[in-house]
Structure 1
């Protein structure tokens, strides 16, 4: 055989192999199950697949409907169990256009805007096709979510208490707004518990609702839930919701997990310095984000500034936000340490996406290890949820009594001497002992240890101690 013929034969062989591989990659996949979640402004459908597929989505009118063509798929389930009440969907039907081509038709009661994307398999779940149906007037994301989320059956979550009632502030004096973000949700269950049927997204919403109830019971404060039910919200969208609600603080509730079931304790996180730097650069590079931060509810105005000045102002805002985050985080951590063991005794810093708001102080509270059977049982206890919420509320109140936003009822109280002297902070210097610090501030050693959740008299240089307002003279 000549050289040209041998080369040609090899190209043909390679082509055949590639064709076979492509055919195998998109061999007929089964649609194994379909789940539905309703959010305040959209409805999400998740199709669980046995393998990858190609798909297309288009809309039809008169009557309104969405058509989803899934190439390389067969239906191995039905749509009878879908809870359509409260959604714009009136029915879901399907037809097998060919042996490997499935058409799904969603009949609608109103016009919606569809967005769709596929998710590759992860450690726990297989391929998925996600179709979001956004209500009229809802903000539809311009980019598809990049975070791959897991799928799990939805489980109803009920609040531990009655609906929250807000104690109104006096006329002309605004409330301090706390945005409360229940981590995960919908097809993203979060960490799994060894307790059967218990997952992170459930307990975070329970604690968030209890925290909202307790914050609303405090005059001059208002709690706003970022996620009110069992549905998924992209991470950046969570901070956008908080900003639109006029939040003075963003608190994200989570439950930790670790390979070792023995891991235990609560933690509080603020944004890392590296995360703050990268986020500042991202905001400056994105003109749309600048406009949103500025022209909307943001506290920083950059739209009329040149790039250098805008960078300085945004950096200052991020620095102030991070400083406040660390401050409120330490107060929350100290209060949590009085009702449950701590995993870390100081505020940790990491680049979590939900902490990256340059204009809203933000903390993430890991309420405990849901992977630990004992802590999982505690986390799902309404009594422990109430205690956790109470400790977070106390820390938040302490911070804002020291740093009330202008025009707020709490600022008015402080300016008129209606707030008792607040706790102070002391940074440990070389040569200082706990007893010396207690004597300096005229408080008992026991009170100082209790305020800082210390089990011994050992302290470290650079450690920040919280000094309670109670003096020796007022103690029995």
Structure 2
């Protein structure tokens, strides 16, 4: 006489299981669950500081060198990664002329057998888009026309698909924080600086010829964190709160990538 209730109970259990699976498919994978599968102590991420003190890159609307912005943000990112347990994170710095220092940075990164490289930069615009304003009694170049971050990968990197995957993860994390990428790199008026927009949802572009991305032996992305020639965005880029937002997005993306990455012995075969 207990057979019928038993069948009913079994049916209820199956229905509950089906409902749980449907809910899981609806909400998708949870970042914390992904991070739980990552062992940060075995994962090495290189945070590359773009440019050098001698060749500091772009000059902001208020006369601050890009290198200072790059170094400050990279240090915050490195700190966030270490807080998350990525104790093998490495801040990559160099001195000297542009190309020789860049070659040295890439060689150092390749010698580390790292799992991921993230190069930190801040953006400017072509000279044709700039105007002049007076700041502190000095005429400075600026452009308030474009703002927002952008992410670049190279199809010539031996781990292009992995680079693209991380670029999308990073773009998604930035987007989740309300940060927007700049779409102007896909426009014809950018001329030789025009890039292919690979993913319109997350703001990932291809920049195949970029040396740091093309010659690195590990998945690599370059983040232009924002425009320092845009007067309002320059102020934002210098704020601790905004730097923490970007660093948090990078750290979450690294955790996700760490959890999903193939085994070290398999990564050498990852091709585009």
Does the alignment reach a TM-score above 0.5? Answer: yes
Structure 1 counterpart of 2:206: 349
Of Structure 1 and Structure 2, the greater helix share is in 2
Larger Rg computed on CA atoms? 1
Structure 1 counterpart of 2:170: 332
Q: After superposition, where does 1:32-431 map in structure 2 within 5 Å?
A: 175-196=42-63, 198-227=64-93, 234-258=101-125, 259=129, 260-271=143-154, 273=155, 276=156, 318-319=157-158, 321-339=159-177, 340-344=179-183, 345-350=202-207, 351-357=209-215, 359-403=217-261, 405-406=263-264
Following superposition, the deviation at residue 399 of structure 1 comes to: 1.2
Structure 1 counterpart of 2:11: none
What per-residue deviation string (whole Å, max 9, x for no partner) do you get for residues 348-403 of structure 1? 00121110135211100000011101111111111111111111111111111111
Higher relative contact order (CA 8 A, sep 6+): 2
CA distance in 2 between partners of 1:220 and 1:208 (Å): 14
For structure 1, the residue ranges without an aligned partner over 5 or more in a row are: 1-168, 277-317, 408-476
Structure 2 counterpart of 1:39: none
For the structure 1 residues 405 and 207, does the alpha-carbon distance in structure 2 shift closer, same or farther, using more than 3 Å as the test? farther
Following superposition, the deviation at residue 327 of structure 1 comes to: 0.4
Following superposition, the deviation at residue 346 of structure 1 comes to: 3.0
For structure 2, the residue ranges without an aligned partner over 5 or more in a row are: 1-37, 130-142, 184-201, 266-272
CA RMSD between the two structures:
2.3
For the structure 1 residues 388 and 358, does the alpha-carbon distance in structure 2 shift closer, same or farther, using more than 3 Å as the test? closer
SS of corresponding position for 2:89: strand
User: What's the TM-score once normalised by structure 2's chain length?
Assistant: 0.64
Of Structure 1 and Structure 2, the greater strand share is in 1
CA distance in 2 between partners of 1:220 and 1:263 (Å): 34
Structure 1 counterpart of 2:33: none
User: What's the TM-score once normalised by structure 1's chain length?
Assistant: 0.38
Q: Is the 8 A contact 1:215 1:222 kept in 2?
A: no
Query: For this pair of structures, how many residues does the alignment match?
Result: 190
CA distance in 1 between partners of 2:113 and 2:71 (Å): 21
Task: List 4+ stretches of structure 1 deviating above 6 A.
Answer: none
